[in-house]
Amino acid sequence: METEEGVRVLTDLIRRKGFAFVDGTPYDDPEHTKRLLERIAFIRVTHYGGFYDFTADLAMADTAYTNIALPAHTDTTYFDDPAGLQVFHMLSHEPDATSKDPNALGGESLLVDGFNAALELKRTSTWAYKILTEVPLPWHASGNKGIAITPERTYPVFETAPGNKALLRIRWNNDDRGVVPFHSGCSPVDWYDAARKWNALLEDKRLQYWEQLKPGRTLIFDNWRVLHGRSAFTGKRRICGGYINRNDFMSRWRTLNRTPEEVNRVVIG
């Protein structure tokens, strides 16, 4: 990661596969992980702060600050421009005094390729895919004092590019979702039927990838494409990481993985 070639390979892996691991990240000080993020681009600041370093202490009114299981979801659905990349590095995981088996602490991380799951939904339930693409929903972050964030407009679960209708971005987090509206194309009942189809795919073990994070192995993934979650855990777990803007990630990837002529064609059009 000290070389531009290393960052080129890393950003290309994330761009093509949706996620990547960086092994050998020092974990004696979270500053090492922070510097790793900054090799890609600057860290995005939100109401949670910038670079985060936390335990399950309920310091924020968010399920991430608990030890409960979290289903597959995307982060920052309540921003018009959700975070592009998300980074997790588990610095430590210590059993509590009552634990009988220090090797059974739990907390495995879940990843689901949302684009793959969405295309599977489109193939098997075209009507459900259409509903989740066309019905805009309200999203919000309002659990912390003085915070009431909501996008300037409503957005569907699946956002597609104009013209070719290719999948651009997925928003999915039931803890951030507002009331399902009545829509000219469907009722809330229709939407929930479609959402159940979608959720069943996210829970399909064939589409899930589980990995037990460990100190020294940093996980970086595309928050527009890859949904993440975790199993419940015991003991005290310390996680650090942060967000990176999508445009800044894409700029870094493009300038390292494309020729100047190719970059110019993208910029000029």
Task: Please choose, from the candidates 252, 226, 236, the residue with its C-alpha nearest in 3D space to the C-alpha of residue 42.
Answer: 252
Helix axes 114-124, 188-202, angle to 10 degrees: 120
CB atoms within 10 A of CB 128: 20
Predicted local distance difference test score (pLDDT) of residue 96: 79
Predicted local distance difference test score (pLDDT) of residue 205: 97
Q: Which residues contact 85 (CB under 8 A, 6 or more apart)?
A: 14, 40, 220, 221, 222, 223, 243, 244, 246, 249
The Cα diameter of the chain in Å comes to 62
* Rounded Cα–Cα distance for residues 263 and 261 (Å): 5
> What's the Cα-to-Cα distance from 169 to each of 78, 85, 185, rounded to whole Å?
13, 12, 21
CB atoms within 10 A of CB 141: 21
The DSSP-derived string for 106-118 is: B--EEEEEHHHHH
Predicted local distance difference test score (pLDDT) of residue 178: 92
Rounded to a whole number, what is the distance in angstroms from the first to the last CA of the chain?
32
pLDDT tens, residue order, the chain (269 aa): 999 999 999 999 999 999 999 999 999 999 999 999 999 999 999 998 999 998 877 666 566 677 889 999 999 999 999 999 999 999 999 887 766 665 668 999 999 999 999 999 999 999 999 999 999 999 999 877 888 999 999 999 999 998 878 999 999 999 999 999 988 888 999 999 999 999 999 999 999 999 999 999 999 999 999 999 999 998 899 999 999 999 999 999 999 999 999 999 888 87
Task: Please check whether residue 118 is in contact with residue 98, taking contact to mean a CB–CB distance below 8 angstroms.
Answer: no
Number of helices and strands in the chain (H, E): 7, 12
Residue 226's Cβ-side half-sphere holds a number of Cα atoms within 13 Å equal to: 24
* Rounded Cα–Cα distance for residues 5 and 1 (Å): 8
Task: Please choose, from the candidates 92, 109, 52, 110, the residue with its C-alpha nearest in 3D space to the C-alpha of residue 235.
Answer: 92
The token pair that represents 150 in the structure block: 């909501």
Task: Please check whether residue 157 is in contact with residue 132, taking contact to mean a CB–CB distance below 8 angstroms.
Answer: yes
Task: Please check whether residue 82 is in contact with residue 222, taking contact to mean a CB–CB distance below 8 angstroms.
Answer: no
Tell me the β-bridge partners of 242. Answer: 87
Residues, the chain, total?
269
The token pair that represents 147 in the structure block: 């915070």
Topology of 4-104+212-268 in CATH? Double-stranded beta-helix (3.60.130)
Q: Helices marked H in 158-259 — which ranges?
A: 188-202, 246-257
Give ranges for CATH 3.60.130.10 in the chain: 4-104+212-268
